[in-house]
Structure 1
C-alpha cells in the first residue's frame, strides 16, 4: 500500500482532478509563479506557461505570482529585478495569459500575504523545513550558510498558495514536497483554529522535460536556453553554436548523444512529432541538417508569440497597469484571508 505522501497517491489524485476540471472548473483555484532571476525560456514555456493558459481557458480561477522576494533566498543582489519583472509580465501576456482572467502580481506588493508567515511558522518544525529537497539543493548550489529566508522558503510558498485559497498547483514530481508542506500547514491550521484553508493538491504535469541545447537542464546560466525574448536570428545563432558530436548519422539516444538528442527533443516538442521519427528522417544529413530543421521548427512555433511580444514591448504603460491592477486585486484577497485568520485565532480586536 503506498503511503499518503507517495508519488503514486499524488498521481492518482492529480489524475482525478484533471478528469474533473472540465466539468467543474469553478471548484478550483490555481496558483503558480516564477522567480524573476532572468528571462523566461522555452523550458518555462512548455513546462508551465502552456498549462497556465489551458487552465485559464477551462475557467479555473488562475493566479500567477512573480516571486520577487524569493530572488534573495539564494543570491545577494536584486540587480535588474525591475527589468526582469516587467519582461516576465510581457512574456506572460505574449504567451496567452489574459489579465482579465488571470491575476498577475508580485510578492513584495502583498504584505498581508507575507504576514501569514508568522502563524504558519508555528505550525511546522525546523526538521520538516530542513528536509525539503529544494532547501537542501539551493543551499548546496549557493555555497552560503543556510539563511533564515532559505530555511523558511517552503513556508513562504505556502503563504503564496493559501492566501488566495489555492487548491491546485501545477508541479513537476520534484516539487511535490512543497505541496506536502503546504497541505500540512493548511490541515494543522484548520485543526487548531477552525476551517479557513482548502485541501491543496499538486497538478502533475505530463509535459516531458525540455533539455537545454547541450542536453543538460535548460538554464540561462549554462547558456543553453532559448529565451522567449530572443529574435529568430538570435535563436538560429544559438542553435548553430550548440554542440553535437562527430557522428554523421543522426539518432535519438539521450544517454549516449545528449547534444543531438536535446535538439531532437526540442524539434519534437515544437512540431508535435516523435524525436526518433525526426532522427530517422534526417539520417545521414548530419548535424547541419538537424540544426536547420530545429531552427525552423522553433522559429515557426514562436513566430506569433514573438509578434505579440513585440507589440506589448512598445506599450510599457500597459504592462505597468496589468501589474498594478493584479497587485491591488491580490491585496484585497489577502486582506480578507488575513481577516479570517485573525478571527479564527481570536485576534480581531
Structure 2
C-alpha cells in the first residue's frame, strides 16, 4: 500500500479549502487538518511506530482484503482546548480499549493502548495551531484500521493499516434550543443478537442509510432503532445512545437502555451516567418499550429525552414519529436536566471542572515531530 499526495478536503464538503489557503491560517468547521498518522501491523513483525505525515490519499491494490471482505473498524473521539490554551484528549484509553474490542470481534490484531494514545498525541500536537481559540470548536479524531493485505482468500488478513485523521468540529446539531425530531424505524433492524452491533465497524453503518433517508422523507432528522427480535425495545438513535428523564422532584430518574451486545457501548453514554450522578440525579439502566415512551410522554411522566455521542455531545429529542403516531417530548425544547448534563459534560471536556474521573489526557507540545 502506498499513499499519494493530496490536499485535505472537508469532512462535509469536498470544495472546502485547506487550512491556511485563505490566509487565515485556521481551519473552519468540517475542514480536515493537514496531517495524519499511520502505522502498520504484519503477522511477521507486529506493530510499527506511529508515523506523522501529511494528510494524503491512500493507494490500494484492487485485491486489498478490506475491499473484498470488509475487515475494518473505526473510532471517534475529540481533543478540546483547555483554559490555559493547551489541548486534552477526552478518555483516549477507553476509546483504545473499545477499539481493541471491535478488533477482536472482526479477528483483527489489537492495537496496544499505548500506541493508540501515542498516535493521537502526535496528530493533535501537529494540528493545534489550526484550531481557532473560540468556544464550541474541538478537534475530532478518527482512528481506523483496515485489512491492507492484497488477498482475495476469505480468511483474516495478515497485514493491517491504522490511519488517524482529524477535522474541526462544532456543535453537531447546532445551538438551537429546539429538540431534534426522531423517526421510529419499523422496516429495518440495525443489529442482531450475536452480530456486530457492539463493535464500531463501518459494516454497521451502510445498512442504516435507507432508514435515514426514510426518516428524512417523514420529516425527521434522526432514526430510532428498535431491537431486532420483538421490534419493541428502544436501543439507540442514529449513532447516539438515548436517555429518558422520568418523574420529577425526589422521584426524578434518568433512564437509559442497558447494554445488550446489539448496540454500541458509548464512551459518552458512560460519561453521561457519571455526570448525571455527579449532579445528584438517580440513574437507572432498564429496557424502555417504544409504546411506554409514547404513553409516558403523553401523560407527562417522561419530560425529557436526549441522545448523546462523541459528535452530538448531548442533544434533546423534541418530537417523535412512529408510523401514523406522533408525540412531543415535554415542550419540544431542551429541558433542564438535558441542559445541566450537557453543560457539566462540556465542563469536563474543556477543563472547567476538576478531573475527578481521570478522563482528560493532556497533550504535550514540542515533544516529538
Q: TM-score, normalised by structure 2?
A: 0.26
Between Structure 1 and Structure 2, the one with more strand by share is: 2
The structure whose RCO (Cα within 8 Å, separation 6+) is larger is 1
Between Structure 1 and Structure 2, the one with more helix by share is: 1
